[in-house]
Structure 1
């Protein structure tokens, strides 16, 4: 049974057009859209209205919080940028933050590289950078992710900038 769907996106670095396209395409398909920071757009910009957003390391002078938790359909979700959690070198600080916040899913950005794992029963997910990807999947030209949470599993699907699912980036993790 599906409990809820969350869209995670990150690191658009001022690219408002892609955020508008993603929101227009998926706003009616997901329960909440969480932005993992480095939007480089102020919260007064209408582009940001559909997203609950955190501040990243290049969001100079912007007033977004460093971390957000929200509960949707009984599932507690978190989002942070990750730069203060040293995500470039280890996921341990992020995992500890997620455990302390008692979230089921924690989204983060900063590395510009997509990544997903389950640690201590918590899904840790980096949607990758939608506008400036790095690493193994940079040739996709940018990614974001939708996570479906059920009682039994986390179902993850990554999408490209053309709003298409990437077949090789669909996965499922047990919640037990």
Structure 2
């Protein structure tokens, strides 16, 4: 299973268009963790699972999405409703309630990945306005044969961080 995860594009469509051209058809799912500042009618968001962020004022995106892709169950949310800038505990409770394997979220604009209670949490950073680093990032998640690989990349294809976890 391979997923493209992006967040916090804040109205810019150039980056989304580039990611879509590069990854559509090459991944099993494309996820946008909110603050697109677009509507569902924008062609650049076609094919993405998109949630509503705190800077999204259109009413056509849900706050959370739960979806399953090749036996991997995802919770996608922006994070602001779960106070993720302070703690992941509330989001962990929601993930357990939803019985998911992977949580994708944004909001802080800070990339990261960690496993808490056998649930993978991924924040791809921001594709437009990063914090705690200069590089604008997105994430590619691959899960296969008991291994999780996450790469945080720039639009130029440079890997700025990478994490690997063993599962099972």
TM-score bracket, normalised by the shorter chain, equals over 0.9
* Within-5 A mapping of 1:17-36: 17-36=14-33
What whole-Å deviation, never above 9, does each CA across 1:114-134 have from its counterpart, x for those lacking one? 011000111100000100001
Q: Secondary structure at the match of 1:65?
A: coil
Matched, 1:72 2:69: yes
Could you tell me which of 102, 105, 119 is aligned with 2:102?
105
Could you tell me which of 40, 43, 47 is aligned with 1:43?
40
Q: Does the aligned pair in 2 maintain the 1:5–1:149 contact within 8 Å?
A: yes
Match of 2:167 in 1: 175
Could you tell me which of 77, 81, 85 is aligned with 1:84?
81
CA RMSD of aligned residues (A): 1.1
Match of 1:157 in 2: 151
* Within-5 A mapping of 1:53-68: 53-68=50-65
Structure 1 residue 151: Cα displacement: 3.8
TM-score (norm 2): 0.96
Q: Does the aligned pair in 2 maintain the 1:123–1:154 contact within 8 Å?
A: no
What whole-Å deviation, never above 9, does each CA across 1:13-55 have from its counterpart, x for those lacking one? 0011100100100112210001000000100111110211000
Q: Which consecutive unaligned segments of at least 5 residues does structure 1 have? A: none
Q: Secondary structure at the match of 1:69?
A: strand
Q: Which consecutive unaligned segments of at least 5 residues does structure 2 have? A: none
Distance 1:152 1:8 in 2: 20
Count of aligned pairs between the two proteins: 168
Distance 1:20 1:61 in 2: 20
Structure 1 residue 170: Cα displacement: 1.5
Structure 1 residue 62: Cα displacement: 3.0
